[in-house]
Structure 1
Amino acid sequence: MLEALTVASTAEQQAAGYADTLREILQQPQTWQGTAELVNRPEVARVFAHALANKPAHIVLTGSGSSMYIGESIAPTLQAGLAVPVQAIAAGTLLTHWRGVLPPGSGLLVSLARSGDSPESCGVVSRLLDEAPGWRHLVITCNAKGKLATLYRDEPRVDVVVLDERTNDRSLVMTSSFSNLLLAGTGLLRDTASALQLDAQSPLAENAQRVFDRYGDAIAEIAQRPMTSAVYLGSGGGIGVAHEAALKMLEMTGGKVITLAETFLGLRHGPMSSVHPGTLIVAFLSPDATVRGYEIDLLRELSRKGLGLGKLIVGEGIPADLLDERDVAIELQGLGTHGEVPTLLAHVVVGQLLAFFRCLQLGDKPDTPSQGVLTRVVGEFAIHGAAP
Structure 2
Amino acid sequence: MTDTLQLGLDEAELERLGGLWTAREIAQQPAMLRETQALLMQRRAEIEAFLQPILDQAGVRIILTGAGTSAFAGECLAPALARRLGRRVEAIATTDLVCAPHLYFEADTPTLLVSFGRSGNSPESVAAIELADRLVSTLNHLVITCNADGALARYGQGPRGMNIQLPEATHDRSFAMTSSFSCMTYAALAVFSGVAALDQRIDGIARATQAVIAQYTPVMQAVAGEGYQRVVYLGSHIFKGLARESGLKLLELTNGALVTMFDSPLGFRHGPKTIVNDQTLIVVFFSNDAYTRSYDVDLLDELRRDNDAARVIAVTAQDGVGLAETDQIKVPGLADADDVELLFAYIAAPQILAFFESLRLGLKPDKPNAAGTVNRVVQGVRIHELT
Taking structure 2 as the reference length, what is the TM-score of the superposition?
A: 0.92
Map 1:92-241 → 2, pairs under 5 A: 92-103=95-106, 105-106=108-109, 107-151=111-155, 153=157, 155-191=158-194, 194=197, 196-197=198-199, 199-241=200-242
Q: Is the 8 A contact 1:45 1:190 kept in 2?
A: no
Q: Matched residues in 1 for 2:148 and 2:59: separation?
A: 26
Name the structure 1 match of 2:251. 250
Letter in 2 for 1:146: G
Letter in 2 for 1:122: V
Post-superposition Cα deviations, 1:52-102, rounded to whole Å, max 9, x if no partner, equal 453652111110000010000011111011101111111011001121123
Q: Give the SS at the match of 1:314.
A: strand
- Point out where structure 1 has 5 or more consecutive residues left out of the alignment: none
Identity percentage of aligned residues: 37
Post-superposition Cα deviations, 1:211-268, rounded to whole Å, max 9, x if no partner, equal 1222221111111112111110011111111000000000000111111010010011
Q: Give the SS at the match of 1:159.
A: strand
Post-superposition Cα deviations, 1:152-210, rounded to whole Å, max 9, x if no partner, equal 63x3222211111111100010000000000001134243774x22x322211221121
Matched, 1:17 2:18: yes
Map 1:3-14 → 2, pairs under 5 A: 6=7, 9-14=10-15
Matched, 1:347 2:346: yes
Question: Closer, same or farther in 2 for the Cα pair 1:329/1:6, shift >3 Å?
Answer: closer
Farther off after superposition, 364-373 or 127-136: 127-136
Q: Matched residues in 1 for 2:20 and 2:29: separation?
A: 15
Q: Give the SS at the match of 1:322.
A: coil
Q: Matched residues in 2 for 1:163 and 1:51: separation?
A: 22
Map 1:52-63 → 2, pairs under 5 A: 52=55, 54=57, 57-63=60-66
Q: Matched residues in 2 for 1:318 and 1:273: separation?
A: 29
Shift of 1:8: 5.0
Letter in 2 for 1:73: C
Q: Matched residues in 2 for 1:226 and 1:8: separation?
A: 20
Q: Matched residues in 1 for 2:24 and 2:228: separation?
A: 26
Name the structure 1 match of 2:381. 381
Tell me how many residue pairs correspond in the alignment: 380
Letter in 2 for 1:68: A
Q: Matched residues in 2 for 1:359 and 1:264: separation?
A: 27
Q: Matched residues in 1 for 2:354 and 2:280: separation?
A: 14
Q: Matched residues in 1 for 2:8 and 2:305: separation?
A: 42
Question: Closer, same or farther in 2 for the Cα pair 1:252/1:65, shift >3 Å?
Answer: same
Farther off after superposition, 363-372 or 183-192: 183-192
Q: Matched residues in 1 for 2:28 and 2:48: separation?
A: 25
Name the structure 2 match of 1:332. 331
Shift of 1:4: 6.4
Question: Closer, same or farther in 2 for the Cα pair 1:148/1:4, shift >3 Å?
Answer: closer
Question: Closer, same or farther in 2 for the Cα pair 1:330/1:7, shift >3 Å?
Answer: closer
Question: Closer, same or farther in 2 for the Cα pair 1:353/1:188, shift >3 Å?
Answer: same
Q: Is the 8 A contact 2:331 2:346 kept in 1?
A: no
Q: Give the SS at the match of 1:214.
A: helix
Q: Matched residues in 2 for 1:352 and 1:206: separation?
A: 17
Shift of 1:321: 3.1
Letter in 2 for 1:149: A
Letter in 1 for 2:115: S
Farther off after superposition, 74-83 or 47-56: 47-56
Q: Is the 8 A contact 1:200 1:338 kept in 2?
A: no
Letter in 2 for 1:64: A
Farther off after superposition, 207-216 or 48-57: 48-57
Question: Closer, same or farther in 2 for the Cα pair 1:320/1:161, shift >3 Å?
Answer: closer
1:80 to 80, 83, 94: 83
Q: Matched residues in 2 for 1:159 and 1:53: separation?
A: 17
Q: Matched residues in 1 for 2:364 and 2:58: separation?
A: 46
Farther off after superposition, 130-139 or 365-374: 130-139
Q: Is the 8 A contact 1:231 1:246 kept in 2?
A: yes
- Point out where structure 2 has 5 or more consecutive residues left out of the alignment: none
Q: Is the 8 A contact 1:47 1:159 kept in 2?
A: yes
Shift >6 Å, 4+ stretches? none
Q: Matched residues in 2 for 1:4 and 1:139: separation?
A: 34
Post-superposition Cα deviations, 1:89-148, rounded to whole Å, max 9, x if no partner, equal 110110011211234522111111111000001111012112223222211111100001
RMSD between superposed Cα atoms in Å: 2.1
Letter in 1 for 2:287: S
